[in-house]
Amino acid sequence: MFQVPRGTRDFTPEEMQKRRYLEHTMATTFTSFGYGEIQTPTFENQELFTAKSGESIINELYAFNDKGGRALALRPELTAPVIRCYVERLQMEPKPLKLYYFGNCYRYDRPQKGRYREFQQAGCELIGTDTHEATAELLALAYTILKNTGLKDIHLNIGNLTIISAIFRKLHLLKDDQKMILPLIDKSQFDDLQIALRDCNVSEEMITTFLDVLQTSDITKIRAFIGDDAEANTELSSLETILDLLRDAFHIPDYVIKLSIVRGLDYYKGLVFEIDAPALGAEKQLCGGGSYDLISLFGGTAVPTSGFAIGFDRTLLALEEEGFQFPTPKLDVFVIPVNPTMNNTVIQITQKLRSLGISADFDQLRRGIGKSLKYADAKHAEKVIIVGPKELENNTVTIRNMKTGAQEVVTLNDIYTKLQKS
Ligand code: AMP
């Protein structure tokens, strides 16, 4: 009769088990890199997002007025909320400040596989440093998190907006023309880009070289094209140093320079990057990030900032696509009374097991042993304790190993030493 709203999903215990596993792996990697967790509200003042992305963003938001007439919006991402919180409360913290988060995001998107209206992001912001080693570490962290989840095939592509801006200057592109062609670069629509550049009176020779430079990973070619633009040359040298560190110190050699990674010029600047999982097809982008400037826009004292956001749901889809074996949910022990008069003992055994940190459950439907064993199997119980009247007279129970079928009779007192994580 009722269905989940379009673009949203329920998660069953089996699915939640996978999500929690993934969350745990990601959180462990964030903390191993010295990051601390932060949480912000699910909704924010609408202005936070329009200040960052312009009024047109409202079309993509779940935006509403509350009963007090405040214009609010469900967050579409977490960078703006985290930077708002930094400006409000954390500016005096020792630098660099390393913050990570998990959070639900909401976008009025066209739902399809890998694209939802409610989805989860895992991400981080690095505040107060833009040294080469800090930037190299940020790239290493994004890559390592995804690798540590168990993903095998991921591609790290690195671009740079300062270099793209220099190239735009060289092509004599006006600001409006730049705005028009950026989405074409972003979506790698190179045929349309060629037509658009012709319309902007860029020479055929320049267009050919530009398209080549956008798709090459050869730094020499890029350097030759930017010529003597001082800013772009400095940025390119920095990029080389960062990538040397990434390869030689962080031991991550699998990256590609791709200037067609642009991520929109609105608040990103300098280095930008994306990580893809080809297994996902159309919606293959797992992670996007780079350096950006939002602090001054939000009224704080400007310090360098960078970060990235990983699509949590897509990471899970990519793992499933690659056939990753998630740990199965399991119950350590299921306790079965042969008849309800055993219930008191059964409950006491179960409770004692629980207090020892052993997951335990007992039959609550008064089923026969056969059916109870079936249920225990469905719950992936590793062991079953059968409490029968005859055994109980001798202060014993039967412990059954569900994998091997082996059974042994043990005294009530010995149950716990027997089952304590053997
Ligand atoms: P963005 O904030 O747009 O850079 O998104 C960061 C990451 O979040 C993307 O690389 C995707 O993996 C994921 N993502 C973005 N939008 C959606 C969506 N509607 N549904 C699921 N994942 C999304």
Under DSSP, is residue 20 helix (H, G, I), strand (E, B) or coil? helix
pLDDT value at residue 282: 84
Q: Is 207 in the pocket of ligand 1 (CB under 6 A)?
A: no
The atom number, within ligand 1, closest to the CA of 121 reads 8
Least confident of 59-73, 181-195, 247-261: 181-195
pLDDT at 14 over 60: yes
Which CATH number does 331-421 carry?
A: 3.40.50.800
pLDDT at 268 over 60: yes
What is the per-residue burial (b if ≥16 Cβ within 10 Å, else e) of 330-369?
ebbbbbbbbeeebeeebeebbeebeeeebebbbbeeeeee
Cα of 192 vs centre of ligand 1, distance in Å, is 25
DSSP for residue 304:
-
Least confident of 6-10, 101-105, 352-356, 418-422: 418-422
Tell which one of 78, 105, 317 to mutate to probe ligand 1, the residue whose CB is within 8 A of the most ligand atoms. Answer: 105
pLDDT value at residue 51: 87
Q: Is 124 in the pocket of ligand 1 (CB under 6 A)?
A: no
Is-contact 266 52, C-beta < 8 A?
A: yes
Rounded Cα gap, residues 307 and 273, in angstroms: 10
pLDDT value at residue 328: 86
Q: Is 314 in the pocket of ligand 1 (CB under 6 A)?
A: yes
Q: Is 268 in the pocket of ligand 1 (CB under 6 A)?
A: no
Rounded Cα gap, residues 74 and 322, in angstroms: 32
List of residues 6+ apart from 193 with CB closer than 8 A: 181, 184, 185, 211
pLDDT at 252 over 60: yes
List of residues 6+ apart from 258 with CB closer than 8 A: 157, 158, 159, 214, 215, 217
pLDDT > 70 in the chain, percent:
99
Tell which one of 52, 115, 263, 266 to mutate to probe ligand 1, the residue whose CB is within 8 A of the most ligand atoms. Answer: 115
- Helices then strands, counting H and E runs in the chain, come out as 15, 16
* Every domain of the chain and the residues it spans: 13-321, 331-421
pLDDT value at residue 184: 93
pLDDT value at residue 402: 97
* DSSP, residue by residue, 160-223: EHHHHHHHHHHTT--HHHHHHHHHHHHTT-HHHHHHHHHHTT--HHHHHHHHHHHH---HHHHH
pLDDT at 265 over 60: no
Is-contact 262 272, C-beta < 8 A?
A: yes
Q: Is 260 in the pocket of ligand 1 (CB under 6 A)?
A: no
| Residue 135: closest CA among 298, 252, 296, 231 | 252
pLDDT value at residue 56: 84
Assign 329 a pLDDT band (cuts: 50, 70, 90).
confident
pLDDT at 68 over 80: yes
Rounded Cα gap, residues 194 and 251, in angstroms: 37
Cα of 225 vs centre of ligand 1, distance in Å, is 33
Question: Residue 230: in which H helix or E strand, if any?
Answer: helix 230-248
pLDDT value at residue 422: 53
Top pLDDT among 331 and 227 is at 331
pLDDT at 267 over 80: no
The atom number, within ligand 1, closest to the CA of 275 reads 10
- The highest-level CATH class for domain 13-321 is alpha beta
Cα of 273 vs centre of ligand 1, distance in Å, is 14
Q: Is 285 in the pocket of ligand 1 (CB under 6 A)?
A: yes
In total, the chain counts a number of residues equal to 422
| Residue 132: closest CA among 36, 249, 34 | 249
Q: Is 86 in the pocket of ligand 1 (CB under 6 A)?
A: no
Average pLDDT over residues 379-395: 96
pLDDT digits (tens, 9 = 90+) for 350-382: 999 999 999 999 999 999 999 999 999 999 999
Cα of 300 vs centre of ligand 1, distance in Å, is 27
- Both tokens of residue 223? 């350097």
pLDDT value at residue 36: 98
The atom number, within ligand 1, closest to the CA of 111 reads 19
Average pLDDT over residues 123-148: 98
Q: Is 77 in the pocket of ligand 1 (CB under 6 A)?
A: yes
What is the per-residue burial (b if ≥16 Cβ within 10 Å, else e) of 133-164?
ebbbbbbbbbbbbbeebbbeebbbbbbbbbbb
Question: Residue 360: in which H helix or E strand, if any?
Answer: strand 360-362
Is-contact 313 119, C-beta < 8 A?
A: yes
The atom number, within ligand 1, closest to the CA of 263 reads 4
Q: Is 107 in the pocket of ligand 1 (CB under 6 A)?
A: yes
How do strand 331-337 and strand 360-362 relate by DSSP bridges? parallel
What is the rounded average pLDDT for all residues in the chain? Answer: 95
Identify the residue whose C-alpha is closest to ligand 1 atom 18. 115
- Both tokens of residue 75? 């967050």
- Both tokens of residue 390? 């005859």
Give residue 58's identity as a one-letter amino acid code: I
| Residue 286: closest CA among 246, 242, 318 | 318
Q: Calculate the CA 134 to chain-centre distance.
A: 20
Q: Is 273 in the pocket of ligand 1 (CB under 6 A)?
A: no
Assign 421 a pLDDT band (cuts: 50, 70, 90).
low
SS3 content of the chain, % helix, strand, coil (to 5): 45, 25, 35
pLDDT value at residue 60: 94
13-321 and 331-421 in the same fold:
no
Is-contact 86 97, C-beta < 8 A?
A: yes
Cα of 311 vs centre of ligand 1, distance in Å, is 5
Computed over its alpha carbons, how large is the radius of gyration of the chain?
Answer: 28
